[in-house]
Structures are given as structure tokens and as C-alpha cells.
Amino acid sequence: MKQKGFLLLLFIGLIVLAACGTGEDSQEEQSTDNVSSQYWDEIKEAGEIVVGTSGTLYPTSFYNDEEKKELTGYDVEIMKEIANRLDLELSFETMGIDTMFASLKNGRVDLIINDIEVTEERKEQFSFSDPYKYSYTTMIVREEDHSGIDSLEDLEGKKAGGGATTVFSQIAEHYGAEVVTYGNATNDTYLRDVDNGRTDTVINDYYLQSLALEAFPEFNIVLHPDLRFHPTEQAIVMPEGSDTLTEKVNEVLNEMREDGTLTELSEQFFGGKDASKQPEEEVVEIEGLEL
């Protein structure tokens, strides 16, 4: 009798433990679901999405008037279209690239868009949309001697202008260059310093560099004719775990790709070129660069 009673109590105990275990699993799943949807739920309830961008990066995010009243650019117009299709009001917070990621983490902005490259290190901390731009990396050098740079290895000992935490600065440092950092500076500041010898190069995106050169013909600088490296994908950055928000943004981006809106906006801001598609040029991958 005692043995039967013990077995009965043991059986009941196992049932209770199993029930408790199932409850904990359900709570964990529910908690995960809440985290993945809370960002979108809060944005939808507010009826507004707040976006971080620089406002100084031509032609993706810039002011088209001296009074800085109207923000435009490829990235900005993409974001305007996304907000419109999601039936949300839109406001921008302008800031330097080094501030954007911190602002996203502390909730000052809901997402950031500023020609930001998708990297493995960033994917560990943030969620990314599908790419809306494909490109590769080039460098601006002085026209008369290409700043003494014939290969990527020649960057050793040179000075490269850039933001402190950008991928382009990491590339410069990877090859032994000294990075001269700036705040939220406009393109003319970077280009002028290469022209006057304060720096030797600016490493950056092909499309952005090409148009920057066209905008400032007074500087004796060129895109390096022989160096095309580090293919890139640019995407919208959102808080880590914001699955529902990411899905909503991706749905709209896919619609914009299919109906030709991304191509139209790209051709408008990139001199008739379609940056929403993979480039056809041969581009060198950089070995040993961990991003």
C-alpha cells in the first residue's frame, strides 16, 4: 500500500512538473512574440515613425536649400514612401553617423537610414531590412599623382578622411592608413582636405563619390581609375528583435522594387544609374577584413 501510494504521488508530481514546464515554455514564447511585435505596435499606436539620418550625405540624405527646410535624397525619399504606404506620419532626426546607432538603441529614433552597410558585426546588434541599394567601394585621390596610391597596400602611412566608426575607416585602418575623423561634416569638407593635402584620400561608396565629384569641380581630385573593391549592400537599420517592424518594411520595399519605384528614385538621385540592382563591374573582395 505504501509503495502504491508513493507511486501515485510520484505520478501526480510528474504531471504537475510537466504542466509547470509547459507553462514556462509558453511564457517564453509569448515573451518573444511580444518583443518582436512591440516596436511595430508602438509605432502604429503613435501613428508616426521617427527616423535618424544625417542630412549631410549627398545624394542620399541632404537639404536642398540653404535654410535647411526640406530634407531629400535617395534614402529620404525611400523612407517617405515607406511611411506613406504604411499610413504613418514621418519625422526625421538629423545627427552624425556615430550617434545614429546609439539613438536607435536608446529609443530616440525608431529606425535609421543613411546609406548604412550591412555587416556581420552590426547584424549581431540590430535588425536590417532587405537591401535597397547595391554598390562597391572606391577612393577619391588627388588628380595629379593619385595621392601616391596605386594599390590598396599603398594606403599604409596615408591619411584618410572619414567617420570614426564607418566601414570605410575600418578599411583604411586595415591597410595601415591614419583616419582623420570628422563630425557630421558635409562632402565639401572631405574633398577640400584631399585637394589641399590635409588628407590623401576619402574611401567611400562609388555612387556617392561620383556625384560628390560632379558637385565640386573646383577641386583637383578624381576617383581612382583602377581600384574597385569591397562590394556592399545598404539597408534600413532597426532595433534588434523587431521582427514585425522589419517584415512591414520589407513588404513595402518589395512592392517598391516590383513596381519600379526604387529604380525611379535611384535614377533620379544617382545620375540615371540604378543602384537598386547589383553592379556589373568586377569588384575585388578584401581578405582578412572582419566587419
Do 209 and 227 reside in the same domain of the chain? yes
Do 149 and 117 lie in one domain? The reply is no
Contact 204, 168 (CB under 8 A): yes
Confidence of residue 35 (pLDDT cuts 50, 70, 90): low
- 127 and 138 co-located in one domain: no
pTM: 0.79
Same domain, 120 and 196: no
φ, ψ for residue 287, nearest 5 deg = -85, 145
Cα–Cα dist 160/141, whole Å? 10
How many domains, the chain? 2
pLDDT tens-digit readout, 247-269: 999 999 999 999 999 999 999 99
Q: Are residues 199 and 241 in the same domain?
A: no
One domain, residues 98 and 241? yes
Per residue in 103-130, pLDDT (tens digit) is: 999 999 999 999 999 999 999 999 999 9
* Residues spanned by the domain of 150: 134-231
Give residue-wise pLDDT tens across range 122-160: 999 999 999 999 999 999 999 999 999 999 999 999 999
What span, in angstroms and rounded, lies between the C-alpha atoms of 109 and 52? 6
Print burial letters for 207-239: b (CB count within 10 Å at least 16), e (below 16). Answer: bbbbbbbeeeeebebbbbeebbbbbbbbbbbbb
Residue 66 pLDDT grade (very low, low, confident, very high; cuts 50, 70, 90): confident
For the chain, what is the mean pLDDT? Answer: 88
The pLDDT tens digits of the residues spanning 191-204 come to: 999 999 999 999 99
Name residue 119's amino acid: T
| Res 160: pLDDT | 97
Residues 80 and 140 occupy one common structural domain: no
Q: Of the ranges 4-13, 14-23, 54-63, which is most confident?
A: 54-63
CA 71 to chain centre: 18
pLDDT of res. 166: 87
CATH of the domain at 244: 3.40.190.10
pLDDT reading at 222 higher than 50? yes
pLDDT at 29 over 50: no
Contact 17, 223 (CB under 8 A): no
